[in-house]
Amino acid sequence: MMKRQFPNLCKPITLGRTTFPNRMFSAPMGGTDITNDGCIGPKSTAFYELRAKGGAGAVTVSELMVDPNTDGSHGYHLDESILNSLAAAAYTADAIRRHGAIPSLELSHSGMYAGTYMTDKRKQKSMNQWGPSDTVRLDGVKVKALTKEMIDHIVASYGYAAALAKRAGFEMLMIHGGHGWLINQFLSPYFNKRTDEYGGSLENRTRFAIEVLKSVREAVGPFFPLEFRLSGSELFEGGYDLEEGCRIARQIEPYIDLLHVSAGTYQRGFGDTHPSMFKDHGCNVYLAEEIKKHVSVPVATIGALNSPEQMEEIIASGKADVVYMARALLADPNLPRKVTENREHEIVKCLRCFTCMAERAVTATRRCTVNPLIGREIEGDEVAPAPVKKKVLVAGGGPGGLYAAYTAARRGHHVILCEKEAEVGGILKGEQAFPFKREMYELAETYKVLAQKAGVEIRLNTEVTKEYAMKENADALIIAVGSVPLVPPIPGLKADHVVVVNNYYLEKDKIGDDVVVLGGGLAGCECAIHLGMNGKNVHLVEMRDELAVDANVRHRPLLLNEINKYVTVHTGYKGLEVSADGVYCQDKNGKKQFVPGTSVICALGQRSRTDVVAELQDAALFVRVIGDAAKVSTITNAVYWGYHGALDIDAGGV
What backbone torsions phi and psi does residue 330 show, to the nearest 5 degrees?
A: -85, -45
Nearest-angstrom CA–CA distance, 592 and 624: 46
Whether residues 206 and 312 share a domain: the answer is yes
Domain boundary among 378, 408, 441: 378
Give the alpha-carbon dihedral of 392, 396, 400, 406, to 10 degrees. Answer: 40
The SS3 assignment for 228 reads strand
Give the model confidence (pLDDT) of 507-539 as tens digits. 999 999 999 999 999 999 999 999 999 999 999
Q: What is the CATH number of the domain that holds 139?
A: 3.20.20.70
Q: What is the pLDDT of residue 652?
A: 66
Q: What is the pLDDT of residue 44?
A: 96
Whether residues 318 and 185 share a domain: the answer is yes
Nearest-angstrom CA–CA distance, 183 and 177: 5
Whether residues 518 and 463 share a domain: the answer is no
In a domain, 490, yes or no: no
Helix axes 207-220, 148-168, angle to 10 degrees: 30
Nearest-angstrom CA–CA distance, 597 and 578: 10
**What are the contacts of 610-616 at 24+ separation with CB within 8 A?**
612/395, 612/479, 612/481, 613/479, 613/481, 615/465, 615/466, 616/395, 616/464, 616/466, 616/469, 616/477, 616/479, 616/481
Nearest-angstrom CA–CA distance, 648 and 642: 10
In a domain, 164, yes or no: yes
Is the Cβ–Cβ distance between 170 and 93 less than 8 Å? yes
Neighbours of 447 (CB within 10 A): 28
CB-based burial, 323-344: b 16+ in 10 Å, e otherwise: bbbbbbbbbbbbbbbbbbeeeb
Whether residues 364 and 390 share a domain: the answer is no
Is the pLDDT assigned to residue 75 strictly greater than 90? Answer: no
Q: What is the CATH number of the domain that holds 582?
A: 3.50.50.60
Give the model confidence (pLDDT) of 365-414 as tens digits. 999 999 999 999 999 999 999 999 999 999 999 999 999 999 999 999 99
In a domain, 2, yes or no: no
Give the model confidence (pLDDT) of 281-298 as tens digits. 999 999 999 999 999 999
Q: What is the pLDDT of residue 271?
A: 87
Total structural domains in the chain? 3
In this prediction, residue 653 has a pLDDT band, given cuts at 50, 70 and 90, of low
Is the pLDDT assigned to residue 1 strictly greater than 90? Answer: no
In a domain, 492, yes or no: no
Whether residues 146 and 33 share a domain: the answer is yes
In a domain, 1, yes or no: no
56 lies in which domain range? 7-378
Q: What is the pLDDT of residue 127?
A: 74
Nearest-angstrom CA–CA distance, 156 and 123: 26
DSSP state of 146: P
Whether residues 141 and 120 share a domain: the answer is yes
Whether residues 503 and 441 share a domain: the answer is no
Whether residues 288 and 426 share a domain: the answer is no
Whether residues 478 and 502 share a domain: the answer is no
Lowest-pLDDT range of 63-77, 133-147, 167-181: 63-77
Q: Return the sign of the alpha-carbon dihedral for residues 501, 504, 506, 510.
A: positive
Q: What is the pLDDT of residue 192?
A: 97
Whether residues 313 and 213 share a domain: the answer is yes
Q: Residue 392 belongs to what H/E stretch?
A: strand 391-395
Domain boundary among 308, 343, 378: 378
Nearest-angstrom CA–CA distance, 364 and 279: 27
Whether residues 480 and 519 share a domain: the answer is no
Q: Return the sign of the alpha-carbon dihedral for residues 137, 143, 147, 151.
A: negative
In a domain, 359, yes or no: yes
Neighbours of 412 (CB within 10 A): 18
Is the pLDDT assigned to residue 269 strictly greater than 90? Answer: no
% of residues, the chain, pLDDT over 70:
98
Whether residues 460 and 508 share a domain: the answer is no
Q: What is the CATH number of the domain that holds 466?
A: 3.40.50.720
